[in-house]
Structure 1
């Protein structure tokens, strides 16, 4: 997974800063994430959700709405209609760049903006909102009554919201009051996922009820349980992203393998040797080896651990895939080498991280080296790890000794 800058010119002619979170493998699709009213593209929730979706194979573009993110104007000057228009432009710019978005994800007021923008983007296959209000005017509840009075009387006023200064114009008040979100949702007739925390004290869960009733099927609701409105806990953001990824996979394009598996794998058998606590003999056809655990956890260190075997599969597949690709392209690759390490990352969902370091020998130019390295992310084992697999279990009627002898 990599992050890189991606910018475009918004509806008001200014350059909009954004970040692309690219999957480590062939994307199953692309999404745009719209952040909340008092947030920016680099808020905790925006970053965590984007990266969790990227780990699930969905590339995500997140950018700063006008007046909400890292812009030169101070105090910030948000414009709701500009936010909606910028989402539409962002989708078209991504499509032109070869990253057509099929999913819109919106957090809080960004959710209502996503619902409105989707009405102008027939190519969007599905929309997911997190803690979204059923009316844009709800954002005015952030304002003190005296601030609203000053804005109405003077045409604009600086107000403090969530500890940040915002310059609010009367046009902003008029703008958010003139949008019928529930009518927009009823007209969408596209898959909608609503995620909301029952204890949300900023946007009550009744807003999710209103949006759910307004929407046509297919529509779904996921409770975020004890999460707060801004999803400040990593586990809440990761949970929301995992739910979105699983749900959206039904509506995004089918998964494809860039490099097919050249031959179906034979069955692999593992059986305890009873020499030591963990030692296992592994057989596959005429091939055999031992697996074990380190001495520090009670093993004999007589073979690779289970996760090391998985890492070995990824490393082997990586090297084979690069060789296959280099030969196909006629690149002068003399030897390929890959080192894969496995770690558990606290706070990340899923928590498994495989780190791969590739070495390429031969008179390759920078373009050839880049293409070979990129194809490593498309090897079949990589895709299986990134996308997930179906594991089925059944109980054999044979005794262990009978099964072991029959496999030989």
Structure 2
């Protein structure tokens, strides 16, 4: 039987077949995801952000919108997140891009056509990094990704994060009540600081169409980061969504509409029958 994510998000998911799929990454870790299959072998892969999971409303909403247009969707948890195996690691950008590679290779072996990859926040960085290394997916959608990775660290780790890392070799991040959340090691911090999105942007193939969507009221990642992507990626479209926050809390339908319009303009749905374009 198809499995549905728990909670009130169920009503957002189209009435399509859902099945839990496990993909092994190059490190031997099992990545867990949900395949929304509606008869189409065209597939969109959706990637979550920092300490998030495949079951956030934004991804359930996108899956519903895409399947309603006759395209299948796979949303999954990166290693160390959600239901997937592995240890959560701060940074980890290139490794998450390689998780996407493992997922894509799995579905290519199953004779799917990878129509697009979509990432939100840190997942936006992951899909762009993927496109900078591999040139086999020609539609990439970056939702609220961060361009300047050296920014945003103080907000999580404190202004003295470098001194603390140099002294102890790690920082344990705790919540407001003092409970442990995750550990930032010197290597994982270095991974973030050494990930150069400028170089990545220049390495994306000109044939790859990239959409960046960013909320004008995003208080997590400033909208100016989206402007930097627009300047550097060769085949790029920018959409600043007025009033939207980082998670598009009150703008989920508008976000889905922008994504679908971009994919339609990229002829992703070309060649589908009318039946496939309906909600099966």
The match for 2:215 is 197
Number of aligned residue pairs: give it: 258
The match for 2:189 is 173
Equivalent pair of 1:133/1:203 in contact (CA under 8 Å)? yes
Structure 1 position 157 matched with structure 2 position 174: no
Equivalent pair of 2:70/2:277 in contact (CA under 8 Å)? no
The match for 2:114 is 101
Equivalent pair of 1:102/1:123 in contact (CA under 8 Å)? no
Equivalence map 1:8-407=2 (5 Å): 8-23=23-38, 25-26=39-40, 29-71=42-84, 76-78=88-90, 79-141=92-154, 142-146=156-160, 149-160=163-174, 165-188=181-204, 189=206, 190-217=208-235, 219-233=236-250, 236-249=251-264, 250-252=266-268, 254-257=270-273, 380=274, 382-383=275-276, 385-386=278-279
| Cα shift readout 1:373-395 (whole Å, capped 9, x = no counterpart) | xxxxxxx5x446459xxxxxxxx
The match for 1:324 is none
| Distance change >3 Å, CA 66–CA 145, structure 1 → 2 | farther
The match for 1:361 is none
Gaps of 5+ in 2: 1-15
TM-score, normalised to structure 1, is: 0.58
| Distance change >3 Å, CA 177–CA 147, structure 1 → 2 | closer
- 1:104 and 1:161 map into 2 onto residues whose CA distance is 32
| Cα shift readout 1:296-326 (whole Å, capped 9, x = no counterpart) | xxxxxxxxxxxxxxxxxxxxxxxxxxxxxxx
Helix, strand or coil at the partner of 1:17: strand
| RMSD across aligned positions (CA) | 2.5
Gaps of 5+ in 1: 258-379, 388-408
Q: Please identify the structure whose Cα radius of gyration is greater.
A: 1
- 2:103 and 2:85 map into 1 onto residues whose CA distance is 20
| Cα shift readout 1:117-175 (whole Å, capped 9, x = no counterpart) | 11233220111111111133445243323555433322223213799812222111111
TM-score, normalised to structure 2, is: 0.82
| Distance change >3 Å, CA 3–CA 244, structure 1 → 2 | same
Equivalent pair of 2:31/2:85 in contact (CA under 8 Å)? no
Q: What is the CA-CA distance between 1:37 and the residue it aligns to?
A: 0.7
